[in-house]
Structures are given as structure tokens and as C-alpha cells.
Amino acid sequence: MTEPQQPPQVDTNKIIEERRAKLQALRENGQAFPNDARRTDLAADLHAAYAGKENAELEPAAIKVAVAGRMMLKRVMGKASFATLQDMSGRIQVYVQTDAVGAEVHEAFKHWDLGDILAVEGTLFRTKTNELTVKAQSIRLLAKSLRPLPEKFHGLTDQEQKYRQRYVDLIMNTESRAVFVKRSQIVQGIREFFVARGYLEVETPMMHPIPGGAAARPFVTHHNALDMQLYLRIAPELYLKRLVVGGFEKVFEINRNFRNEGISTRHNPEFTMLEFYEAYRDYHYLMDLTETLIREVARKVLGTTTVTYQGTTLDLERKFDRLTMAQAIHQYHPEHALDDLAKVDYLRAALARHEVEVFPTDGLGMLQLKLFEQTTEEKLIQPTFIIAHPTDVSPLARANDRDPSITDRFELFMTGREIANGFSELNDPEDQAERFAAQAKAKEAGDEEAMYYDADYVRALEYGMPPTAGEGIGIDRLVMLLTDSPSIRDVILFPQMRQED
């Protein structure tokens, strides 16, 4: 891991050799990478602006435009050629004629390669097949591409290469570009949603002396000058609640968390979380807010609240179900009667049949949770809030007033996956201190995911935190859902991969 970087590989590929020779010739003729070309027009803007114009009207008007982009297609026909340029907005065709640009330039153009970055100035016309085209008065090569692009028709299909060389994926695949544009719009929509409701966006530390706020294994790092061990954050929760203590009564943060755990189609070591906290609210309010948020973002970004994910249609308009774990188990497995699901012995027997590991210390809530996860979680396709989680597994959530063995907490499930997790916050400093102590004890006993005792967080609570509700939403998973992406790697620009070679 700490080995020195390998020297860059010398690529002996013949195509690259030829392109290097072309670049060398360009260098000998002057500036090979000119930086004085100015673009005034984007492809999509031109298509939109002249959508209704016939060539009879367009060509005589001699509308001057300056476009630039990557050459994706090239068709040479003796004394005239067509090229297709791609810019950030889309594609536009360019017509290069010996009569218009001169024999020398056209001859040079014939030796430019797919992938080269070009600038074209000229006038608009429509070809006989009615395609809007720039007739070049001048055409320049701005940046030579040394590496050949994937095949123009099939594009890049190799999953590994799409992830490792995202830049090539983005050049070749419109659908990939669209996913990341949507991701950006979703994050923007969420940001606007909270700002419009008077929330303050904040940034809290990514490097924590004590990792907290979730049950997960952290990454460890070291600060040299301070000579101290630091952890990449597994959640921002404890810092955001310190801010609520400080008087920022409505805060949110959209940022990265890091968890040193397995990698899968649903897990990347770094992932983006939205967390938000609002004082003088409870978890019921959060559920309402979450429904509104997801509906509004879907409407804004997709234009609809009917979402198809991997062949399953989700209705985000309908009020989301709200069920306790026992109710959910009963609803999807009617053979488990509600009365029985409240009996410890019944649950132990049921779990034994499923061969689920249980501990003598597991109480009613824990047993229900285990049966729920085993039998029911994957069946929650339509948006469903599951409420009342056991206090044992919710060390930061407020205990229920009637039954302190459960908490005022919910998790939102869609397509059988957890999308959000929220609760009325525990603001009793003495209760919090006891729960930390229990977690610390579990950690000593070998539970690597158990929390540390965070004395400063308890000290903050001792100044008094207003009753508060807080929630976290996994942005990557939400984006997967809204873009119909099967893998989390499809919605993360540069997913974590094993080292090449």
C-alpha cells in the first residue's frame, strides 16, 4: 500500500504510436494545444433555437456560430466531409468543404482522429436529410486525442472499464451522463427543499477523534503534527446535534460517510448521506416531511411520482404505510398472529425454525427485529415506514413514553431496501450516558460495531438540547431508485475498486 508509484506504462499500441507522431508534427508546426478558441454556441441550444427553421430560410440568413467539442464521428468524401462534434449539451454536425476552408485545412482534417477536440466557426444550414449543420469557415484542432475511443456503434459496455475509466464512459454513453445529471438535480432539489423550510446547511468534521452516530467499523488515520489517531466519520449525527444544542434549531448536511465494511452493489466504502435535525418536532413529523420530500424531488427531477425500479412500479403519491415490526410481519405473513408476535417464546421458536442466531439477552423487541429482517424486510416494495425499534439497537433514540424497551424511531423501506432512518432524539444526558456506557461495554466484549463513549457529546447534552427530531437518508440509494440503477456503482462517479494489476 505504501509502495512508490509505478512509473507510467509505456504503451506500445500502434494506434497510440501513430497519434503520438501526429502530435509531434503538430508541435513542430507551432502551438499544439492552443487556448485562444472561444465557443459561443452549444449544440443543444442551436437545435432548440432553430428547430422550426427550414433550410430555405436558414442558409440565406448566414447565421454565424462558433461550436467546439470532441469529434465522435467522421465521414470523408473526397472534397467534402462531415463530422459530428459532442459538447456538454449534445451533438452537432459540421460540414467541412475544400472550397470553404481550403485544400490544406481539409487535407489536415482528414488525418484528425475520432476523439480529437475541435473548434469550428461557420454558418448554419440544413442538409437534404434536414439535419442542422455548421458549414465550417474555419476548423481547428485544439487538443489531440492519443488514445482511441471505444467502437462508435457499440460504445463502451465493459462494466469494469466504465467504473475505472468513468471519463470514457461519460464520453461514450449518454445514459451514464444522464444518471449523473439526475443525481446532481436530486441533490440540488433536496438542498432547495430544506433551505426553503428555513434549515441551515452546515459542514461538520469528516475526521473524528471518536467515531460515532452509527454502528459501523471506521477507517483509521493519523494526524502527524498532533500525533493523534483520527477516524473518518461514519455519521455526522453527534456533531449536528451539538449544533442544535448551540441554537441552530434546523440544520442539514449532505456529505460523505465512510464505513470500513464490505463492498457490494449496494455498498461503497464512501457514500453520501443527508442528515437533518429540527427542534420541537418528533418522529411523526419526520415521516410526513420525508413523504413530501421524496414526492417533491421525484416530481421535480423525473416529472412524475410513479417510479419504475428494475421492473417494479412504485407509487410515491399514495400515503406511505406506517407499521410496527409486528404489524408488518403479520401483514406479509398472516400465519404469525399478532398476539403470538408479542410472545417471547413464540418468537424464539419461529427464529429457531429460520435458523437465526439469538442470544439469551434478546428481549421482545430484538426478537421481533430479527424475525422482521429475516422474513419481511425484502417484501416491503412500496414505501413503508417501520416504526418502534428496540432500544437496544437504537442508542441515540428517545425511548417510547409508554414502553421504554422500544424507541420513537422509524425506518423507511422501498423496494425491500432501507432508504431512511429517523427518530425523536434522545436529549436526556443521563440516559444517553448510560446507553454509551452499555455500548462501550459491548465494544469491550468484542462488538466491533458498538459505539464509543463520547464524553463531549454527553457534556453538550448537559447544557440542554431542545426536544428534536432527526433523520438520515442514503442519497446514493435514493438516486439508484430514481434512476433505475441496479448498482450503487452506477450512481457514484468514481466507485471504489480494487487496484488494477
Interface characters, 209-228, with RNA (x: CB under 7 A): -----xxx------------
For residue 41, give the amino acid letter: D
CA angle 256, 191, 44 (to 5 degrees): 100
CB 172 within 8 A of CB 155: yes
Nearer to RNA, 82 or 453 (CB): 82
Is 268 one of the binding residues for RNA (CB under 7 A)?
yes
User: Sheet harboring 228-232: ordered strands across?
Assistant: 207-208, 228-232, 220-223
Stretch touching RNA by CB under 7 A, among 1-9, 13-21, 202-210, 394-402: 13-21
Q: How far is the CB of 157 from RNA (least distance, A)?
A: 4
Q: How far is the CB of 324 from RNA (least distance, A)?
A: 18
Residues of span 322-381 touching RNA by CB under 7 A: 373
Q: Which SS3 state, helix, strand or coil, does residue 390 take?
A: strand
Nearer to RNA, 99 or 335 (CB): 99
CB 460 within 8 A of CB 426: no
Judged by CB under 7 A, the residue of 4, 8, 56, 154 near RNA is 154
d(CA 205, CA 213): 13
Q: Which H, E and C letters describe 185-225, residue by residue? A: HHHHHHHHHHHHCCCEECCCCCEECCCCCCCCCCCEEEECC
Residues of span 445-474 touching RNA by CB under 7 A: 449, 472, 474
CA angle 181, 184, 189 (to 5 degrees): 125
Q: Which three cell numbers stand for residue 490?
A: 452506477
Nearer to RNA, 317 or 373 (CB): 373
Region of residue 464 (left: phi > 0; alpha: psi -120 to 50; beta: else): left
Nearer to RNA, 108 or 399 (CB): 108
Is 144 one of the binding residues for RNA (CB under 7 A)?
no
Q: How far is the CB of 172 from RNA (least distance, A)?
A: 8
The maximal CA–CA distance of the chain, rounded, in angstroms, is: 90
Is 313 one of the binding residues for RNA (CB under 7 A)?
no
Residues of span 235-264 touching RNA by CB under 7 A: 259, 261-262, 264
Nearer to RNA, 339 or 378 (CB): 378
Judged by CB under 7 A, the residue of 26, 49, 66, 114 near RNA is 114
CB 254 within 8 A of CB 204: no
Q: 183: part of which helix (H) or strand (E)?
A: helix 174-196
Judged by CB under 7 A, the residue of 7, 104, 153, 335 near RNA is 153
Is 276 one of the binding residues for RNA (CB under 7 A)?
no
Is 192 one of the binding residues for RNA (CB under 7 A)?
no
Quickly list DSSP for 56-82: HHHHHHT-EEEEEEEEEEEEEETTEEE
212 phi and psi, to 5 degrees? -160, 175
Number of residues in contact with RNA under rule CB under 7 A = 78
Nearer to RNA, 7 or 262 (CB): 262
Interface characters, 379-418, with RNA (x: CB under 7 A): --------------------------------------xx
Is 148 one of the binding residues for RNA (CB under 7 A)?
yes
Q: Give the closest residue to 139 by CA, choosing from 209, 55, 74.
A: 74
Q: 254: part of which helix (H) or strand (E)?
A: strand 250-258
CB 434 within 8 A of CB 453: no
Residues of span 52-111 touching RNA by CB under 7 A: 73-80, 82, 84, 93, 95, 97-99, 111
CB 234 within 8 A of CB 213: yes
Nearer to RNA, 339 or 373 (CB): 373
Judged by CB under 7 A, the residue of 25, 40, 62, 127 near RNA is 127
Q: How far is the CB of 390 from RNA (least distance, A)?
A: 12
Q: How far is the CB of 420 from RNA (least distance, A)?
A: 7
Pairing of strands 312-315, 228-232: unpaired
Nearer to RNA, 39 or 417 (CB): 417
Q: How far is the CB of 15 from RNA (least distance, A)?
A: 5
Pairing of strands 312-315, 306-309: antiparallel
Q: How far is the CB of 115 from RNA (least distance, A)?
A: 8
Is 163 one of the binding residues for RNA (CB under 7 A)?
yes
